[in-house]
Structure 1
Amino acid sequence: MTINGAGRYDGGAAATGGIQWLLQPRGIRKGGRAHFRHTVQVGVKLADYADVLGGEAAKLTELFPEGTAARFWGATPAASEGNAKGRALLGCRVGDEVLFYNQWKFIARATITAKFWNTHLAEALWGKDEEDGATWEHMIALGDVVEFDVDARPALAAFGINGALRGLRLESAERRLAFINEHGAPWSSPTTAGVVPAPRKPKTEPQSKLERQALLHAFRTLRTHTAQDGPSPHKPLALLWSIGRVAAGEERLAPWDVFEREVGALLAEFGGEGSQVTPHYPFSRLRSSGVWEVHGVADGIKDPGPGALRMAGAKAGFVSEAARRLRKARIRAEAVKVLSSMYFPTAVRPLVLDRVGLGGYLSASGHIEEPVDDTTDVAEGVAGPVKRRLTKGMRPERNPELIRQVKRWHQDTCQVCSEPLEDLFGHYSEAAHIQGIGSPHDGPDQLSNMLCLCPNHHRQFDRLAIYIDPEWKVRRTRDDEFLYELRFHPRHRIEPEHVEYHRVLCGKND
């Protein structure tokens, strides 16, 4: 199918007919998140794709001058012009707004600044769909991109969409206007022509989510020096170290001598071969991130040396609002996931997190026992030839009745694979907490936070190899492949908040 008017840039279309909403799923399968980050959040340089711009080259260059990030999204062809996707592709116009959807939330809004069809550019940007070999050739250029994090369910219900948004939808200007007048912020925007919502008190929850999103965005977009072996770890290491301080309840501002000693040791270990140990650089340069402040040094002094910082008695750390956000378990887990996955290779990630006191984020269960004291006496020969060590540890106290109950409900059958594991005395299963009750997750010991699993899937769930998506499908973390439908029992209510926390640890929350 070919879009009527492909390649035309009639900027007055939406203004005369009213702004429509194009509801666009971002997709949770392989590629969706990476595509969104690549061409919507970050954007691309047009010059890198000059050979495939085709007839749109002049207009796109006008929209995105040199030095400006070009932002695009696209859709694969619709099976029919008469279905919802076909109508959306045909009916959307320059000036309409796109609402990007993911896992029951709208995550961004943007304005359509151009609408065109370009198979070669789409393939260069996103490749081809692995399932059918199609590419996202029905393209739109985007302006005024605003990231947010708001519940999509009120809008879906208002537009008669039952369940999750599964495909492209176009909502009329009239329905959009009615929804904005009813719900107000954050749906209204500077592009909302002619709309004056009724006065109302600002909603606190969307605002807090915006602030959380801004914090995570700052971590995703750190300005780091890039060497041959990848981005410099100086700033990410300093931030992870500081998150470790927040998690441990320490002061958010660290004195320079403490920072120099501890972050300097991290840089010596993880800074890369031939890298200089220069902790004073992240100490002061992190101010550009917007989430970091330095006390004792004037803002105009870009790179004070170690001696100057020592003389000034300088301190540095997260701004108070960032520190307050990071004291919340879920936001802290998201921040750790962003920083560790974006800036450190998989091989060294566990060691880095362990060094900064955040090793508990490597598994869903967290730390369930305090480190053993190596000085504890060894009792030899008490129970055989193998030495025994008396451990000094602390383990969260689990309610054994809850363990028995969840196993009874599911008759020792795994909720993931539906296989009962037979042993000599009957069947065996394990009760797994979804949000771990160990530090740093500190989830509740409740049935709504538990699953009945076989040992294999308990281990995979705990080690973040599998996750449960918002539609209760069990997927493999590394490639989002569908594996199983989660089994339920009518009396066993599982709290979605705990499942969402586990997705955060798996990096599948956005």
Structure 2
Amino acid sequence: MTTDRVGKAGGEEDGADGVQWLLQPRGTAKTGGPKHFEHSVRAGIDLSQPRYAEFLGEDAALLRKVFPDGVGRFWGAITPAKERDAKAIAVWNSRVGDEVLFYADKQFIARATILAKFRNPDLARAVWGARSDGAVWEHMIALGDLTEFKADALPLLAATPGPKDKLWNMQLVSASDRARLLDKVDLPSVPGRAGLPAPRRQQAAAPTMTEKELLHAIAGLRTHTGSGGPSPHKPLALLWSIGRAAAGEERLAPWSVFEKEVGALLADFGGDTSHVTPHYPFTRLRGTGVWEVQGMHPDAQDPSPTALLEAGAKAGFADDAYQLLRISRRARAKAVGLLRAKYFSGADLRSLFERVGLGGYLTASGTEDDPDVRAAKVVAATGPVPRQATSGTRLVRNPDNVRDVKRWHEDLCQVCGEPLEVPLGRYSEAAHIQGIGSPHDGPDITANMLCLCPNHHRQFDSLGIYVDTQWEVRRTEDNSSVSQLRRDPRHRIDSEYVEYHRMLCGKNG
């Protein structure tokens, strides 16, 4: 599944509060509109159900934040046939924070706020099925609390472009027009959602920066080198910003936020070479070509913290770099792996990566099945180990794939080839190459699996070994050879997944 982001960044200059109206026909019984509205807007979608959970992909973390109770409200649109008609403008230019007014029978019937925008054809198909021509409502919006009401729509339609007697298609009302037309429709207030993050504006759709350009910039960081080694200022700031991109945070962070959070990282993980001076990377990262600072003149050299605060300065990844890191799982894995391998080999990686929200990148399996994380303290000194009740969800694996991989390799490890004899025969483990846990979200297929002994399974998941482009197994620390990966013609292994694992190890060749 490929997921990308759509939408246009909005500015407050568009109106009193920058909020637009998205006028949305509910649709007719023939198109399935009432049924879809009841299912995905009024009732909501239980995101923990396997028929939906398996299709969340890169949007899973964002949707968990937007819908902490696990039930999401969604609406969708089919890709517009024309580039610049009213529907296309509504699809591409609506944005997070806008209000959706649902329409039926010459009335507005419900109101909700857009909390997130994303494109996910697989999830759309799981939620609503497909149209008779195979098209799916893939341009999806996540909605806040629904307020249902009835209000005459004709006065508002009469004051906007298009047909005056009926809302035939999606239509976007700009923020300035909305402010002017508020008295044309009697709208109830929308209740707040306590504890939710503030709506985030999405950036432009398609990044033009390539993975190669992004990685070249990261690999070419010019860092000050003292007696204790390279300064971690810039790498820490980049790692923190990648964590923000992965979580869907705003692209540019105010200096007050940057100073507090990156300053704390420098204090805790800066080592002997570091002084807690976060204003250093805040401005000097501009030289990488992937960093932007707003509020300060481009020629300003090392402005003081006071000057940054007074100027209301903001900084973060440039738009194209941010979009690439936000949209592309591969680019994010490459960037994180490169930073980890080049700049943080001696750091407390678990603590650091968990602090910046990237803990899942420390293992090939992700965060789904780490026994060190799941283990609880044992209270009793003697007797049976105490038990505790747990609840949650687990990824559903296909046991047929596990059996096939083990059978093809006769339960022999593809790294060492040694049999592990147990009373019931040989024992081996089926390891996913691109982990199926978050944030990797790899597929549960045999082309993404290896047959390994427990030792090499753990070493592979912990990024201690990797497979190079010639199918040689190598140690991550020094690239020394371990063995040639044993292969079987019945077991096709997709090199794409092997490359992804190699990226996590910081090996981008």
Q: TM-score, normalised by structure 2?
A: 0.54
Give the match for residue 332 of structure 2.
Answer: 332
TM-fit CA distance, 1:497: 0.5
TM-fit CA distance, 1:410: 2.2
The secondary structure found in structure 2 opposite 1:461 is helix
The secondary structure found in structure 1 opposite 2:354 is helix
Aligned equivalents of 1:402 and 1:433: distance in 2? 11
Aligned equivalents of 1:301 and 1:371: distance in 2? 49
Give the match for residue 135 of structure 1.
Answer: none
Give the match for residue 491 of structure 2.
Answer: 492
Give the match for residue 217 of structure 2.
Answer: 218
The secondary structure found in structure 2 opposite 1:307 is helix
1:96-141 CA-to-partner distances (Å, cap 9, x unmatched) read xxxxxxxxxxxxxxxxxxxxxxxxxxxxxxxxxxxxxxxxxxxxxx
1:70-113 CA-to-partner distances (Å, cap 9, x unmatched) read xxxxxxxxxxxxxxxxxxxxxxxxxxxxxxxxxxxxxxxxxxxx
**Structure 1 segments of 4+ aligned residues over 6 angstroms from their partners:** 370-374, 376-381
The secondary structure found in structure 2 opposite 1:474 is strand
TM-fit CA distance, 1:431: 0.6
Give the match for residue 368 of structure 2.
Answer: 368
Please tell me whether the aligned partners of residues 209 and 321 of structure 2 are also in contact (alpha carbons under 8 angstroms): no
Give the match for residue 300 of structure 1.
Answer: 299
Does residue 1:276 correspond to 2:255, yes or no? Answer: no
Please tell me whether the aligned partners of residues 378 and 387 of structure 1 are also in contact (alpha carbons under 8 angstroms): no
Of 386-395 and 431-440, deviating more is 386-395
- Label 1:247 to 1:499 Cα distance change in 2 as closer, same or farther (>3 A): same
Does residue 1:508 correspond to 2:507, yes or no? Answer: yes
Aligned equivalents of 1:480 and 1:308: distance in 2? 46
Aligned equivalents of 1:261 and 1:464: distance in 2? 31
- Label 1:314 to 1:393 Cα distance change in 2 as closer, same or farther (>3 A): farther
The aligned runs of 1:400-411 (5 Å cut-off) are 400-411=399-410
Aligned equivalents of 2:371 and 2:313: distance in 1? 33
Give the match for residue 449 of structure 2.
Answer: 450
- Label 1:395 to 1:311 Cα distance change in 2 as closer, same or farther (>3 A): farther
- Label 1:209 to 1:405 Cα distance change in 2 as closer, same or farther (>3 A): farther
- Label 1:494 to 1:345 Cα distance change in 2 as closer, same or farther (>3 A): closer
1:239-283 CA-to-partner distances (Å, cap 9, x unmatched) read 000011112222221122221211111011122348432212211
Give the match for residue 155 of structure 1.
Answer: none
Please tell me whether the aligned partners of residues 293 and 314 of structure 2 are also in contact (alpha carbons under 8 angstroms): yes
Please tell me whether the aligned partners of residues 372 and 393 of structure 1 are also in contact (alpha carbons under 8 angstroms): no
Give the letter aligned to residue 360 of structure 1: G
- Label 1:496 to 1:234 Cα distance change in 2 as closer, same or farther (>3 A): same
Please tell me whether the aligned partners of residues 296 and 315 of structure 1 are also in contact (alpha carbons under 8 angstroms): yes
Please tell me whether the aligned partners of residues 228 and 272 of structure 2 are also in contact (alpha carbons under 8 angstroms): no
Aligned equivalents of 1:505 and 1:300: distance in 2? 36
Give the match for residue 460 of structure 2.
Answer: 461
Aligned equivalents of 2:396 and 2:252: distance in 1? 34
The secondary structure found in structure 1 opposite 2:466 is strand
The secondary structure found in structure 2 opposite 1:333 is helix
TM-fit CA distance, 1:380: 7.9
Aligned equivalents of 1:372 and 1:472: distance in 2? 30
Give the letter aligned to residue 238 of structure 2: L
The aligned runs of 1:3-82 (5 Å cut-off) are none
Please tell me whether the aligned partners of residues 466 and 505 of structure 2 are also in contact (alpha carbons under 8 angstroms): yes
The secondary structure found in structure 2 opposite 1:388 is coil
Please tell me whether the aligned partners of residues 218 and 290 of structure 1 are also in contact (alpha carbons under 8 angstroms): yes
Gapped regions of structure 1 (runs ≥ 5): 1-207
TM-fit CA distance, 1:464: 1.9
The aligned runs of 1:406-425 (5 Å cut-off) are 406-425=405-424
* Identity percentage of aligned residues: 62
The secondary structure found in structure 2 opposite 1:444 is coil
The aligned runs of 1:358-397 (5 Å cut-off) are 358-369=358-369, 384-392=383-391, 394-397=393-396
- Label 1:471 to 1:209 Cα distance change in 2 as closer, same or farther (>3 A): farther
TM-fit CA distance, 1:480: 3.0
Aligned residues: 303
Please tell me whether the aligned partners of residues 433 and 451 of structure 1 are also in contact (alpha carbons under 8 angstroms): yes
1:453-492 CA-to-partner distances (Å, cap 9, x unmatched) read 1111111211222222222222333333333332223322
Give the match for residue 341 of structure 1.
Answer: 341
- Label 1:408 to 1:387 Cα distance change in 2 as closer, same or farther (>3 A): same
- Label 1:372 to 1:324 Cα distance change in 2 as closer, same or farther (>3 A): same
Aligned equivalents of 2:345 and 2:377: distance in 1? 38
Aligned equivalents of 1:392 and 1:263: distance in 2? 35
- Label 1:389 to 1:261 Cα distance change in 2 as closer, same or farther (>3 A): farther
Give the letter aligned to residue 288 of structure 2: S
The aligned runs of 1:175-324 (5 Å cut-off) are 211-273=210-272, 275-324=274-323
Aligned equivalents of 1:380 and 1:265: distance in 2? 34
Give the match for residue 357 of structure 1.
Answer: 357
Aligned equivalents of 2:386 and 2:208: distance in 1? 53
Of 490-499 and 209-218, deviating more is 209-218
Give the letter aligned to residue 336 of structure 2: V
Aligned equivalents of 1:412 and 1:281: distance in 2? 54
Gapped regions of structure 2 (runs ≥ 5): 1-206
Aligned equivalents of 1:457 and 1:209: distance in 2? 39
- Label 1:275 to 1:464 Cα distance change in 2 as closer, same or farther (>3 A): closer
Aligned equivalents of 2:319 and 2:332: distance in 1? 15
1:170-225 CA-to-partner distances (Å, cap 9, x unmatched) read xxxxxxxxxxxxxxxxxxxxxxxxxxxxxxxxxxxxxx998322221211222222
Q: TM-score, normalised by structure 1?
A: 0.54
TM-fit CA distance, 1:308: 2.9
**Cα root mean square deviation, aligned:** 3.2
Please tell me whether the aligned partners of residues 363 and 463 of structure 1 are also in contact (alpha carbons under 8 angstroms): yes
Aligned equivalents of 1:238 and 1:491: distance in 2? 46
TM-fit CA distance, 1:509: 2.7
Aligned equivalents of 1:275 and 1:458: distance in 2? 37
Give the match for residue 149 of structure 1.
Answer: none
Bigger relative CO (Cα 8 Å, ≥ 6 apart):
2
Aligned equivalents of 2:251 and 2:349: distance in 1? 24
TM-fit CA distance, 1:310: 2.6
The secondary structure found in structure 2 opposite 1:335 is helix
